[in-house]
Each structure stands twice: as C-alpha cells, then as structure tokens.
C-alpha cells in the first residue's frame, strides 16, 4: 500500500515512543503471560477476511474509546497489530498516553504474522 508523506511522518514520530516486537517475540510473550492480549486494530472487513488465532478485535476507530472498559488493567500486556505495523504504532502511542504501560506494536503486522506461518483464523485460514 502507498502511504502519504504526512502519514509516514506521523507514524515515524509515534515509533520513537512505541516498543515494537517481531512475530516470534509476540508469540513468546503471549505464551508466557495468560493475561496478555493480542489486539487486531484493523478495519472490520480486514478482520473478517482473517486474523491471528486468539486475537481480539478493536478497530483503530474505537480502541481508545472502548479499551478501558474491556481491559481496565493499565498494566496488562497489549500487543497490537494492523496490516503492516503502521496503524498499530499509532494506536500503541495513544494507549500509552492513556496510561497503559505494557503496550507493543507488532512489527510488520498481519503480513508478517501470516508470512511467519503463525496460526490464523477466519476466511484466510487456508
């Protein structure tokens, strides 16, 4: 996908404050911590086409609004992913501003998850 210069600048700024993990590290963290959450911040139609096994869906448009109700523990480990790691970085930056202290963005996003052979659910499973 082509991204505009302004969008990329915004993402690069957010990434200076956000911790990123690769797929292997994300899977290790999820396996080691029953309280960790893998959150897909993509749009509804992207989620419906397939998503990481065990992921929760809170699209980029609502995560800041709904997260405190669904996951009130500000110390909960949150690993966010989107299509390629851009929107998840923006969301992670905002969640940190909201007081969440253990937030990560999945480097490479859904694309990296799929390419690694990590388990998926939904229409794209095959």
Instruction: List active site positions.
Output: 82
94: nearest Cα among 74, 117, 59, 64: 64
81: nearest Cα among 115, 99, 117, 57: 57
How many other β-carbons are positioned within 10 Å of the β-carbon of residue 8? Answer: 11
Residue 106 tokens, joined:
């999945």
Residue 75 tokens, joined:
């110390």
């Amino acid at each position: 996908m082509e991204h505009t210069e302004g969008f990329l600048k915004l993402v690069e700024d957010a990434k200076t404050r956000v911790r990123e993990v690769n797929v292997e590290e994300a899977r290790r963290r999820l396996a080691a911590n029953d309280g960790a959450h893998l959150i897909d911040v993509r749009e509804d139609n992207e989620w419906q086409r397939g998503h990481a096994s065990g992921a929760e869906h809170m699209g980029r448009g609502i995560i800041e609004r709904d997260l405190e109700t669904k996951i009130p523990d500000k110390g909960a480990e949150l690993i966010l992913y989107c299509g390629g790691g851009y929107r998840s970085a923006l969301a992670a930056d905002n969640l940190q501003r909201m007081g969440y202290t253990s937030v990560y963005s999945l480097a490479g996003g859904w694309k990296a998850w799929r390419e690694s052979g990590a388990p998926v659910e939904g229409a794209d499973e095959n």
